[in-house]
Amino acid sequence: MGETILSVDNLDVSFQTNSGLIKAVRGVSFDLKKGETLAIVGESGSGKSVTAKSIMQLLPKQSTRIDSGSIVYGGNDLLEYGNKEIEKIRGKEIAMVFQDPMTSLNPTMKIGKQVMEGLIKHNNIRKKEAKKRSIELLTEVGIPYAEERMNSFPHEFSGGMRQRVVIAMALACDPKVLIADEPTTALDVTIQAQILNLMKELQKKTGTSILIITHDLGVVVNMAQRIAVMYAGEIVETGTLREIFYKPKHPYTWGLLQSMPKMHQDQSVPLIPIAGSPPDVSLMHDGCPFAARCPYVMKVCHNHKPDQTQISVTHAAACWLEDDWAPEIKQPEKIGGVSNS
């Protein structure tokens, strides 16, 4: 296993809202290794974006409470950084790409100027050089006629092109870590393919570590070497790509994999959805977050949170079924991979 570049440990994040306290992220831990791609998957509201944003202190200061945990990068805890210190890291050492490219772009500023700004700010170079480098970067991410397009405004670009620009900006300073939060969710599949390939190529060149957040299991397989599965604010299972897809241990992971149609799925065989709907995180109790929807739920699950059980060096799951005394259950047969119909 490679060297760890970013380490999130036991992170708890909650929000103070009118309708009470929302414990959006609870006890989340993971390591990102040098040069690897780690995917965080999970349903809407499971806390993926909150986790990513807390790394870069991008959550609203007013309402956010980081109750505990640490995010260690380069030997320091980023959570203890002040505004000025985090500014130095943000964009330079750790860059972010969001689902909506307009979050990162200024609609009233020419594309070229926006790319140049980041370069000048972090690299201390002259305007002329920044311009040259910007054109190179835009060309590298596949913007045709980059020199002319420097003068375009974001609205003159398609969604895919805007996302390329954001990636160009993110890469401008050779970041050590790239956090990509649903970078292709808003794009068409043919454009998604271009962007994913672009990220992988750039990673090969620069050795950047990528933390990709997505709910699309296809994207996960395409990009990641390791996966963390999140449910209702907690990581319920972590493993290598193959461990998660072929030897999943957590009932939520089973459900997630089963609910997709298989490649040669017989049309007359119904899909296997997960019953119910994701829980309201403001009403979370002490037990397993998946207990209300879990087909294997036991008494203990409702009142006691299961610990992470280590299954292999790289594989862990937080489920009481992994406990020694737990009854043997028959795992559903058709999990893992789309091919076995």
Which of residues 129 and 201 has its CB atom nearest to another protein in the complex? Answer: 201
281 binds, among ligand SF4, another protein, ligand ATP, none (CB under 5 to 8 A by kind): ligand ATP
- Which residues make Cβ contacts (< 8 Å) with residue 100, sequence separation at least 6? 186
CA–CA–CA angle 52, 254, 294 (5° rounding) = 90
- Counting contacts by CB under 6 A, is residue 301 touching ligand SF4? yes
> Which CA distances in Å does 153 have to 41, 68, 156, 187?
33, 42, 6, 19
Which of residues 154 and 251 has its CB atom nearest to ligand SF4 in the complex? Answer: 251
Which position among 3, 18, 19, 44 is part of the footprint of another protein (CB under 8 A)?
44
- Closest to 89 (Cα-Cα) out of 78, 105, 104: 78
Report 234-253 residues binding ligand SF4 (CB under 6 A).
250-251
Q: What's the min distance (Å) between Cβ of 55 and ligand ATP?
A: 12
- Closest to 146 (Cα-Cα) out of 157, 155, 261: 157
> Looking at this protein, which amino acid is placed at residue 301?
C
Report 236-255 residues binding another protein (CB under 8 A).
241-242, 245-246, 255
Q: 21, 51 in Cβ contact below 8 A?
A: no
- Closest to 51 (Cα-Cα) out of 18, 78, 88, 82: 78
- Counting contacts by CB under 5 A, is residue 49 touching Mg ion? yes
Report 159-218 residues binding ligand ATP (CB under 6 A).
215
Query: Would you state the structure tokens that stand for residue 321, as one six-digit string?
Result: 């079924």
Which of residues 123 and 331 has its CB atom nearest to another protein in the complex? Answer: 331
Strand 64-73 versus strand 4-17 pairing type: antiparallel
- Counting contacts by CB under 5 A, is residue 46 touching Mg ion? no
- Counting contacts by CB under 6 A, is residue 112 touching ligand ATP? no
Which position among 221, 297, 300, 311 is part of the footprint of another protein (CB under 8 A)?
221
Q: Find the part of the chain contacting ligand ATP (CB under 6 A) among 45-53, 101-109, 114-122, 297-305.
A: 45-53
Q: Find the part of the chain contacting ligand SF4 (CB under 6 A) among 57-65, 144-152, 192-200, 288-296.
A: 288-296
How far is the C-alpha of 135 from the C-alpha of 137, rounded, in Å?
Answer: 5
Which strands form 64-73's sheet, in the order they lie side by side? Answer: 20-33, 4-17, 64-73, 76-77
- Counting contacts by CB under 6 A, is residue 311 touching ligand SF4? no
User: Pattern of binders to ligand ATP over 47-66, x per CB under 6 A?
Assistant: xxxx---------x--x---
Q: Find the part of the chain contacting ligand ATP (CB under 6 A) among 43-51, 113-121, 240-248, 250-258.
A: 43-51
- Which residues make Cβ contacts (< 8 Å) with residue 233, sequence separation at least 6? 23, 24, 25, 26, 28, 46, 47, 281, 284, 289
Q: 125, 119 in Cβ contact below 8 A?
A: yes
294 binds, among ligand SF4, ligand ATP, Mg ion, none (CB under 5 to 8 A by kind): ligand SF4
Q: Find the part of the chain contacting another protein (CB under 8 A) among 1-9, 32-40, 272-280, 320-328.
A: 272-280
Positions touching another protein (CB under 8 A) are: 43-44, 144, 158-161, 188-194, 196-197, 215-222, 241-242, 245-246, 255-257, 259-261, 263, 265, 267, 270-274, 277-278, 337-339
